[in-house]
Structure 1
């Protein structure tokens, strides 16, 4: 099993954080690889301002074999959340990579809800903490937003940024999709006695039966 780490630091912006970043990734690499049988993934870490504002860190998976980990030391929340966000988002994105190799992320809102819900649950499986964006909505809000989503679940096009990052104009709260997906996946895992790692290859339709 191979997860290859690459650190881009020509500008020396990452240098002060590089040793600890390596340690944090190493601390969860073994569990992530074992639980998901993860292999052949390049993890590219670099400084970027394209981060989750509340964390100063972000991740992005690009297909089965590549993930990006973005750090912004200039973000006001970076220092506070660096230690927990790096391992959590690493786990989240590796789950996406492995699901991409069997089921795919999903081209519809239905598929995206499940992929994000699973990745959020895998964060909790590895670190013991659910991410804030997975629990941003109350149970009543989750139910209400799911009802709004139903007509669009299988549409050929849907507004991913609005559903997942929020849209005041459309009255969609921030992190809506993550919270709804987390709820859907959590119910399925509980009913079937599964974990997010064990369900990485479960088809989308199974979560709605």
Structure 2
């Protein structure tokens, strides 16, 4: 697994390092079954702020060859989720790395919806798993009115990423993640020959009609 290697580990994360490395290896194996994995350097960081409370960790990716996994090492939830839950987080971030090799994550609302939705469906592609809680946070009747609003703001840069994805004002928590996952699901239903993997570099505008279609 030399092309997927741990580059650095915070001291307080070291007790979990072996299990994290095992999870990384499993994801790489699954990725290798459908494509040639691109090299990734992993940073294992103690960072409570970036950890999802229910899991005790979270992931981030801002370039083609590096992923950061952030851990709340004092969380009672960490050890119980160093399994497929962590693997799915790694797979999600790996798709972001793939997209950084093309159009990137994107600064516009539509681009962010596409990036998150594709990453979520990439996890589904290689794990056959249901959507994560943040990808299915709203019932259909709750989501429906937001589709038109997102469609109108699709090319906006001043949408307020945190508001759309984490919730604020009248925007419910995880709205953007759920919208993105739903949009890509609708697109794939109409294009059954396509996958999240081969759509990694697709321009975000290609998916706009699926938001309300």
- Residue 2 of structure 1, CA deviation: 2.6
- Residues paired across the two proteins, number: 205
Q: Which stretches in structure 2 are left out of the alignment for 5+ residues? A: none
Cα distance in 1 between the residues matched to 2:7 and 2:79: 22
Alpha-carbon distance between aligned partners in 2 of 1:98 and 1:135, rounded to the nearest angstrom: 24
**8 Å contact kept, 2:59–2:68:** yes
Measure, in 2, the Cα distance between the counterparts of 1:173 and 1:96: 24
Aligned to 2:153: 152
Supply the RMSD in Å over aligned alpha carbons: 1.8
Deviates more, 1:189-198 or 1:80-89: 80-89
- Relative to structure 1, the CA distance from residue 128 to residue 155 in structure 2 (aligned partners, 3 Å threshold; closer, same or farther) is same
| Residue equivalent to 1:166 | 167
Aligned to 2:172, what secondary structure does the other structure show? coil
Q: CA deviation at 1:80?
A: 3.0
Query: Residue 163 of structure 2 contacts residue 171 of structure 2 at CA under 8 Å; is this kept in 1?
Result: yes
Q: Which runs of 4+ in 1 moved over 6 A?
A: none
Q: Which moved more, 1:181-190 or 1:199-208?
A: 199-208
CA separation of 1:107 and 1:36: change in aligned 2, threshold 3 A:
farther
Any conservation in 1 of the 2:59–2:89 contact (CA below 8 Å)? Answer: yes
User: 1:109 Cα deviation (Å)?
Assistant: 0.1
What residue in structure 1 maps to residue 59 of structure 2? 59
Using a 3 Å threshold, how does the CA distance of structure 1 residues 151 and 68 change in structure 2: closer, same or farther? Answer: same
Question: Residue 58 and residue 36 in structure 1: after superposition, are their counterparts in 2 closer, same or farther (change >3 A)?
Answer: farther
